[in-house]
């Protein structure tokens, strides 16, 4: 995340928009304090696809655990995913 003064932002607005299109977030400052943030638009289809893939991964993990005769709660599986264990 980049921080840029409003004066620089105004001079290079096209450059910062291009950066946001690539996924960057830009905090625009005024007198050294954050005044605004330029962020990329989130593609709703992409968000839904990520969610679908996450649930599929959890279902697969559940099946792997069952095959090993083990059980786990959804909360435990989510914690494992967040830890990068599977």
Q: Residue 82: which of 64, 57, 63 has the closest Cα?
A: 57
Structure tokens at 18: 């291009």
Q: Where are the beta strands (DSSP E) in the chain?
A: 2-5, 26-30, 33-38
Q: Residue 61: which of 47, 45, 49, 79 has the closest Cα?
A: 79
Say what the pTM is. Answer: 0.52
**Superfamily covering domain 2-38:** YefM-like domain (3.40.1620.10)
Structure tokens at 44: 């709703």
**Per-position pLDDT tens, the chain of length 86:** 899 999 999 999 999 999 999 999 999 999 999 999 999 988 788 888 888 898 888 888 888 888 999 888 878 877 877 776 54
Residue 44 has a pLDDT of 80
Could you tell me the residue ranges of all domains in the chain? 2-38, 44-83
């Amino acid at each position: 995340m980049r921080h840029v003064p409003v004066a620089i932002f105004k001079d290079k607005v096209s450059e910062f928009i291009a950066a946001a299109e690539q996924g960057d977030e830009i905090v625009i400052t005024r007198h050294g304090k954050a005044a605004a943030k330029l962020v990329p638009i989130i593609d709703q289809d992409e968000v839904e696809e990520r969610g679908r893939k996450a649930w599929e991964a959890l279902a697969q993990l559940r099946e792997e655990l069952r095959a090993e005769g083990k059980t786990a709660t959804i909360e435990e599986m989510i914690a494992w995913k967040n830890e990068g264990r599977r």
